[in-house]
Structure 1
Amino acid sequence: MLLRVRGPDGMSRLTVDQNDNFGDLGRQLLPNLPTTVDPTTITLSNNPNGNDSKRLGDIANFKLGQIGLKHGDLIFITYKHQDALSNGDAHGATPSTSAQILPSSNRLNGKPILPAEDVPIDPLPSTSATVERISKPWEVVKQSALDDRLDKKNGKIPRGRDHKMCKHGPKGMCDYCMPLDPFNAKYLDEKKIKYLSIHSYLRKNNAATNKPELGSSFIPPLQEPYFRVKRDYIRAREKKSGVLGRVVEI
C-alpha cells in the first residue's frame, strides 16, 4: 500500500505492507529527509496540528496494520535539525560544542538506522572541550607516505630496443625505444587500459606545466581538479532539455 508522509520539508510517498512495522517505515523515510534531521526527534501523527503524536522510536516495533493505516493515508511528521558540526570556512558555519550525537551515528554501513537502534559510533563531544577551527585546512593536510614515494618516481614505462626500427647500439635510445609516459594514448589503447590511475591522471594534467627533465621546480596547476558533481551544470542541462529550454532556444 502507498502512504503519504508530509513534513516541514515536503511530502514523501512510501510503498509499504500492512505487516511491516514502523521501523521499516522509518528506514524508507530517513533517506528522503534532510541529512541534518535528528532521527531521535521524529514524531508521527494523523493530525496536521500534531495532536496525539507518537515518537518513531517508541512505536518502531508496532505493525502498520495494528494502527489501522490504509492505502493512501496521510501521516504528518515533525522533527528537529541537529546543529551542523563543520571545520573550516565553508558557508560561514561556526562549530558547535553542545553535547550531541554526530551525524555518522545516524547511519551504519551507509544505511540509516532508527533511533531505537541508534548506537553512537562517534563519542559524545565534551561540553568543556573547545573545537579547534582550521581556517586553511589545505596548508596543514599531509598526504600519505605511499604518495610521497610515488611522487619521487618518474612513472615512465620502460621499453626495450626494437630490432627492426632501432638503428643505434645497445646503449643508445631513439623514439622507438624511449620510455613512455603512463598516460600515453597509444600505449593505453594497445594494452586495452580503459581508466588511468589517479597518479597518471595528475601527471597528465601537470605535464604541460612541469618539465622534470629540465630540473625546474614544481609549478602547481592554475586550477585544481574538481572531483565532485557540478550541481549547477546538471540543472542547466535539465532545464535546456525541458520545454522551457526549447522555447528559449527558439
Structure 2
Amino acid sequence: MQIAAALKVDDKSLLISTDSKGAQVVSVPAGQPVGGLGLKHGDILYVDFKRTAAEPAASASAVTSTGAQEPRPVVKQDAIDDGLEKQPGTIKRGRDARFCKHGASGMCEYCMPLQPWDAKYLEDNKIKHMSFHAYLRRLTDQNKTAPPTSSQFLSPLEEAEMKVKIPCPSRTHESWPKGICTKCQPSAVTLQSQNFRMVDHIEFETAGMIDNFLKYWRATGYQRFGYLYGRFEPYAEVPLGVKAVVSAIYEPPQEGAYDGLQLTLPNTEMAAVEEIAARLGLVKVGMIYTDLTDDGRGKGTVICKRHADSYFLSSAECILSAEMQLKNPTVSKWSASGKFGSRFVTCVMTGNEDGGIDISTFQVSNTAMAMVRDDIIEASVEPSLVRVKQLTDEHYVPEVFYKYKNKYGIMVQDAARPTFPVEYLLVTVTHGFPQTPSPLFTSPLNFPIENRPGVETQDMGALQRHLKHGSLTDMLSDFHLLHYLRGVGVVEQLVQRPSWQTLEMIMKETVGAGPVSSGPSTSSSGAAGPSSAAAAKAPWACRHCTFRNPGGGGEL
C-alpha cells in the first residue's frame, strides 16, 4: 500500500515480481510479514501495474513503471524518408596514392568511407548544414537507438517545449502562477545556429516559371506572393540530402502595394488548388514573394536591401516562416510526437549587390518554430532583431540566452533582454535550375495567371486563344489552366455530358468483349479468318449511342 501511495495508483493494480519480465509475481496478502514471502534482505523487487482497458495510454509511447515502453502506433512517413533510411549514406573515397600502402582490395583510414555527417567533408565541400537524415543517422548510430518497432525504442528526436506544464506532473503544488518547480518549469533556451536542415536545395524546374512570376511586378511595381507546389527528391550533392523540386507557383488572392502586400483570407480557392495538386502528385513545398524596388536609373536594376550589414529575413518574416512551417510539419517515426521540423521553404526575390534580381532561400530552425508556437517571441521595430516577450502572470516566458564572439574573439553568453539577432533562427538553403530541364508542365504557351486583375485575365476568350496554339494534349499541360477549368466547372460538365458517358460505356464494353471491329478482318491472304467470323456473330456496341446490337448485323 505504501508503494501504491507513492506511485498514486490503485494498490489492486500493482504487480510485484522478483524478475524484470514480471514472470515471478509475488503475492502480498495484507498483514503478511516479508519473511513469510520467501524474501530476504537485499532482494530486488520489480514493480509494474495493470492498465485497464478503459484507461488510455499517457502518450503514443507510454513508459511503464519498470521503464519499458509500450508499442508505438505506426507512423506513415513520406516516401523520400523511407527511401533515404534504406541507403547506406556513407561517402565513398578512392585509394590515396600517397598514404595508402595496401593493395587494391584493401582499405585503411585514408580511404575508408566517411560518415554523412563528417565535419571536414562538409567544410571542404562548402556544405553549411548537414542534411536531416545525416543528423538523424548520427543520433541513432552513436546512441545505438533501437528501431521504432522495438519495445526498447527511445525517440532520438524531440520537439522543444517552452510552456509551463499545467497541472504540474509532480502534483505537489498549485499550478502556475501560484506555484512552479523544476518538473513543470520549462528549461532556459540557449540559442545557437542549427547544424542541420530539413531541405538542402530548392530546384525550380524552369527559369520561365520565375520570369512569369516576376511579370506582375514588372507591370505594376506591386509586390507579389505565391505558393510553391512540387515534390521532394533525393539530392546527391549532399550526403543523404533532400531537394524540393518546384513544378508550379500558385498566386492566391492578394492586394499588392509598392512596399508590401496583403493576402485575402480565408482563401476560398485553396481547397480546389490542393485537390488539383494532389491529383498531379504535387504537395505544397514552400512560398515565394518579392521585395523589389526599382533604383530609378531606367536600366531595370533594383535596390539591394538585404545583405550582411542589414538583414536577410526580418523578424516579422521569420515569424511568418515559422507559422507556415508549423502548418506543414514533417512526419517522422523517430520523433516522440510523430512529427519533427518542416520541409516548407521560404524564397525571397530581392535585389543583389549588382542591382540584379536574385532569389534567397531559407528555413527557420526548429527552435524558432517552438518559440512561435509557444508565443515566446514577437517582431521588432528593428528588422534584424527578434523581441522576446515579457513574463506576466498570464503568460510564462523562459529565460533566453545566445552566444557570440566578443571583440576579443572570446565566446560569451548574453541574455536576450529584450532582443537577440534574427540570424540565430535562420537556416540557409541553396537553390538553382536543372542542367537538363524536364518539367512536369510542358505547354508551349503560358495560360494567364490567376488573381492578376488589370494585368492578366482568365476567361473563355483566353482559353480559346490558348488552345488554338497547339494540340489539346500539349496546351492542357499548364497548372494555371487546370486550375481555371476546375473553377468554371468544365471538367464536371464534361463528365456529366451524355457523350462522355457514352464513351465510358463503349470503353467498358470494349474491355469486356475484346477489340471491336467495324467490319470483318482479313488475313494476309485476303480471306476472312475464323476469328473474324466469331467476331461478326458477337454482340457489338454502337459508337453513336449506348445501344448494344446483336451479332450478325452491320453498322448503318
- Give the TM-score range, shorter chain: 0.3 to 0.5
Q: Which structure has the bigger radius of gyration?
A: 2
* TM-score (norm: length of structure 1): 0.35
* TM-score (norm: length of structure 2): 0.17
Structure with the higher fraction of residues in strand conformation: 2
